[in-house]
Amino acid sequence: MGLFYTKKGDKGFSHVGKIKISKLDHHIEALGQLDELNCLIGVFKSEQKDKALKTTLHRVQENLFIIQAIVAYKMLREKRIPPQLEESTLRSIESVIDEIESKLKVERKFIIPGTNPTSAWLDYIRAKSRTTERALLRIKLKNPTANAYMNRLSSLFFALARQVGQKGRESSPRYK
C-alpha cells in the first residue's frame, strides 16, 4: 500500500486506527471541519507580517490539533485519556479577546465584512470557526473546555478583524 493512497478506492469509508468508518459519519465531518479551519488559518497566517498575530494564529492551530485528537479518541472509543486543552488555554484566548476589545470602539450594529482584505479574511475564518463549532456540537463532544474554546474562536476572529480594520483607520461597513 502506498503512503498517500491505497490504489483500491475507499467506497465512501475512511480507516481510522483499525476501524472502518463511513465518510458521512458526523465524527469524520467534525474532523474534516477542524482540518479545513486549521488550513484556512494557515493560509491566512502565511501572508501575515505581524509577529504577534502569527504567534496567536499558530497557537490556535496547535489547539485545533488537540481538539482533533479529542474527537478521534471519542470516535474510536479509546480507553486512554486523550490530550486535553487546559483551562489556562481557554483563559489565554479570552485575555487576547479582552485586550483587543479594551482598545476598540465598540460597534452596536451588524458589521458587513470586507473593510479591507485582511479583515475580510478574518471574518471568513470567523464564519468557518462557527461552522466547525456546530460540527462539534453534532457529535456531542463532552469536553467543556474544547467546546468553550471553539465558541471563543469566532469571538477572537471577530475581534481581530475589527482590530485590523481600525488599525488601518478604516471604518467597518455597517448594516442599517
Q: Is residue 4 part of a domain?
A: no
- Mean pLDDT score, 120-136: 97
pLDDT at site 79:
79
The parent domain of residue 153 ranges over 13-167
Q: Is residue 135 part of a domain?
A: yes
pLDDT digits (tens, 9 = 90+) for 77-114: 777 888 899 999 999 999 999 999 999 877 777 888 88
| Cα 69 to Cα 17: distance, rounded to the nearest angstrom | 12
| Cα 29 to Cα 36: distance, rounded to the nearest angstrom | 10
Dihedral angle computed from the Cα positions of residues 59, 65, 66 and 67, in that order, rounded to the nearest 10 degrees: 110
pLDDT at site 1:
53
pLDDT at site 167:
74
Q: Is residue 5 part of a domain?
A: no
Q: Is residue 46 part of a domain?
A: yes
Q: What is the separation, in whole angstroms, between the first and last Cα of the chain?
A: 58
pLDDT at site 60:
98
CB 116 within 8 Å of CB 164: yes
C-alpha cell at 81: 485519556
Most confidently predicted of 99-108, 125-134, 161-170: 125-134
Question: Exposure string (b/e) for 82-115, b if CB count within 10 Å is 16 or more?
Answer: beebeeebbebbeebbeebeeeeeeeeeebebeb
CATH of the domain at 46: 1.20.1200.10
Q: Is residue 173 part of a domain?
A: no
Beta partners for 13? 22
pLDDT at site 150:
97
Among candidates 85, 80, 106, which has minimal Cα distance to 152? 85
Task: Give me the number of domains the chain comprises.
Answer: 1
Q: Is residue 1 part of a domain?
A: no
Q: Is residue 2 part of a domain?
A: no
Question: Exposure string (b/e) for 157-176, b if CB count within 10 Å is 16 or more?
Answer: bbbbbbbbbbeeeeebeeee
Average pLDDT over the chain reads 89
pLDDT digits (tens, 9 = 90+) for 40-61: 999 999 999 999 999 999 999 9
Q: Is residue 7 part of a domain?
A: no
